[in-house]
Structure 1
Amino acid sequence: MPLTVVITGASAGIGRATARRYGRRGADVVLVARGESGLEAVADEVAALGGRPLVQPADMADPAQAEAVAAAAEREFGPIDVWINCAFASVFAPFDRITPDEYRRITDVTYLGFVNGTRAALARMLPRDRGTIVQVGSALGERSIPLQSAYCGAKHAINGFTSSLRTELLHRGSRVRVTVAQMPAVNTPQFDWVRNRLDHHPMPVPPIYQPEVAARGVMYAADHPRRKQYYVGASTVATIWANRLFPALLDRYLARTGYDAQQTTAVPPTGEDNLFTPIDRDPGEDRGAHGAFDDSAHAHSWQEAALRHPATMAVGAGAAACAALAGVRRLRRTVKGAC
């Protein structure tokens, strides 16, 4: 029997790249997002790769819509095996330039969207005592940066919520698994359609990875969900460990470099953003999986490859530790030079 997989945020970026991978596996893939043009396009891709798609336009901020997605998935394909939460929204701006309504919307989608999806999945998985939930997290859920306070806060909340849920499942002796795949900076269309109040076009903080790298990490986490969380990309490992060892130093470094590192020299995009209304809602408006940074994005990650090949994990862990230490040394030199 093919797997039944639900992917939220499936119309672009990491969600779309993950849907393609499950299509190649021949899975039944339920594709969830607000933008119908992107959903129809990824459905065609999944079908061409050998999977069976089901398009479900929905806003995961609404718990009733999340429940309707789960019900439709099981009517069409049967029991849900894997539920992947990946939908999000954001605003690039200093905190005092983000309105209360914007902050609420980002939290509703990026945090409560994961809560709503998890609730809908668990309502079906718990009685069967099987199933896997993957939360697509971020290094920014452990180490916040400037200009993304609402997004960082939501990603931190996902970690706290998931840790609490995991202990409850352990208490019950449940065989339902929940894990988090922590992501690096990824080249997705969000930087073209995000609400932006910066002076220039927003960009991910280098090093940047292609969505396919992230998708491989998500699928591996779904296939091996016993670990609490997985780190995808050496920069994720380095960032998290540097923050654990030298958080004050990292604060000063990000205060000095974090604004410029998230902006190109180009003028910011004008027109619509997707905070409240999807950009890809009409035919011909599909944005694909990739963003505007193909020229600088990495298609491979040695750390992610080591994650998928346990025999090399020891070497990878050692290299990641060296990378983290080297990063801390660079931070020290940079901050010292700024003082």
Structure 2
Amino acid sequence: MTRTVVITGATSGIGRASALAFAARGERLVLAARSAEELAGVAAECRAAGAATLAVPTDVTGSAGVEALADAAVREFGRIDVWVHTAAVMVYGRFEEIPERVFDQVIRTDLLGAAGVARVALRRFRDAGAGTLVLVGSLLGHISAPYMSAYVASKWGLHGLVRALQQEGRDVPGVAVCLVSPGSVDTPVYQRAANHLGSSGRPPPPVTDPDRVAAAVLDCADRPRREVSVGRFTGLLRFGFTVLPGVYDALVGPLMRRLGLTGQPVAPHDGVVFAPDPAGTGVRGGWGHGVAGLLRAARDRGPE
């Protein structure tokens, strides 16, 4: 049966990769993101792949916009079977040096935006007695890293929210809530992040291709699971964070400075936290993958 799939955050990274993967299956798609221009582009790609596609410009930080998105999906296709939420923004900086307005907007987008999507989706799924909500979290919902406090707080909050939703939803067996938690992924989010640190950021290697994460999203849509981790070393990092916290905390700062920052100076800016940048979207960010990426990052960063 052809499903109707809503994807929020569809113009970039994991969201765009997921949209194209669902389109290749011929699913009916409702794509949402802030940039109408780039949304039209990804919708055209999905239609070219043979998928009936509706594009609805939406800012997930507004509840009215998310409700209007759901209404548009039902008007166009009659129902919503799967809702995939990937929208997120990021800021680099020491906690006390990040402007309050930037910190709060990252929380508003990454955590409260996800909560707003979940609220709208689950109300409709509960009424229908069926539906699958797939939320994309992060390894940073289980561990922490310096200079990314707003993103870490958001993803820890999202992980807790998902667990609570899974517990509350046990009385409706046809409704599933899934969490996909990748490590570093080759997406444009790092280039588009706000920066109040003075050094530009990058994904600490090894870096996973977004198509791998999209495959996990599709797998959850087909066979819902509570949580799926994607990426090398995620289990090891979670173990170290939990079992050896002192060792982890001693190492994470130097490793973040060497592998998670480029060392290239950058003036303070707000990235796409408050407004989209159509020129900065796409599936991939051009970061190296695997062990080769690890070696290249260490070489490019140079000595501490």
Q: Structure 2 length as normaliser, TM-score?
A: 0.91
Q: Which residue of 1 aligns with 2:275?
A: 277
Q: Which residue of 1 aligns with 2:201?
A: 202
Shift in Å, 1:223: 1.5
Q: Which residue of 1 aligns with 2:90?
A: 90
CA distance in 2, matches of 1:269, 1:121: 39
Secondary structure in 1 aligned to 2:126? helix
Q: Which residue of 2 aligns with 1:316?
A: none
Shift in Å, 1:274: 0.7
CA distance in 2, matches of 1:149, 1:292: 24
Q: Which residue of 1 aligns with 2:282?
A: 288
Amino acid at match of 1:292: G
Q: Which residue of 2 aligns with 1:177?
A: 176
Shift in Å, 1:113: 0.9
Q: Which residue of 1 aligns with 2:221?
A: 222
Among 293, 297, 304, the residue aligned to 2:289: 297
Q: Which residue of 2 aligns with 1:148?
A: 148
C-alpha change, 1:233 and 1:126, in structure 2 (3 Å) is same
Shift in Å, 1:267: 4.0
Amino acid at match of 1:264: T
Amino acid at match of 2:43: A
Per-residue CA deviation, residues 123-166 of structure 1 (Å, 9 max, x unaligned), is 21101110000110100000010011000000000111111111
Q: Which residue of 2 aligns with 1:49?
A: 49
2:226 is the alignment partner of 1:234: no
CA distance in 1, matches of 2:275, 2:201: 19
CA distance in 2, matches of 1:166, 1:287: 32
C-alpha change, 1:108 and 1:40, in structure 2 (3 Å) is same
Amino acid at match of 1:262: G
Per-residue CA deviation, residues 289-321 of structure 1 (Å, 9 max, x unaligned), is 11131xx125xxxxxxxxxxxxxxxxxxxxxxx
2:206 is the alignment partner of 1:212: no
CA distance in 1, matches of 2:267, 2:218: 33
Unaligned runs of 5+ in 2: 291-304
CA distance in 1, matches of 2:102, 2:281: 23
Moved more, 248-257 or 143-152: 248-257
Secondary structure in 2 aligned to 1:191? coil
Amino acid at match of 2:214: A
Aligned pairs for 1:239-258 (under 5 A) are 239-258=237-256
CA distance in 1, matches of 2:173, 2:194: 41
Residue 126 of structure 1 contacts residue 176 of structure 1 at CA under 8 Å; is this kept in 2?
Answer: yes
Unaligned runs of 5+ in 1: 299-339
Secondary structure in 1 aligned to 2:40? helix
Secondary structure in 2 aligned to 1:181? strand
Among 255, 261, 264, the residue aligned to 1:263: 261
Shift in Å, 1:270: 8.2
CA distance in 2, matches of 1:39, 1:269: 29
C-alpha change, 1:4 and 1:62, in structure 2 (3 Å) is same
Aligned pairs for 1:60-75 (under 5 A) are 60-75=60-75
Amino acid at match of 2:182: M
CA distance in 1, matches of 2:41, 2:267: 24
Percent of pairs with identical residues = 33
Residue 196 of structure 2 contacts residue 267 of structure 2 at CA under 8 Å; is this kept in 1?
Answer: no
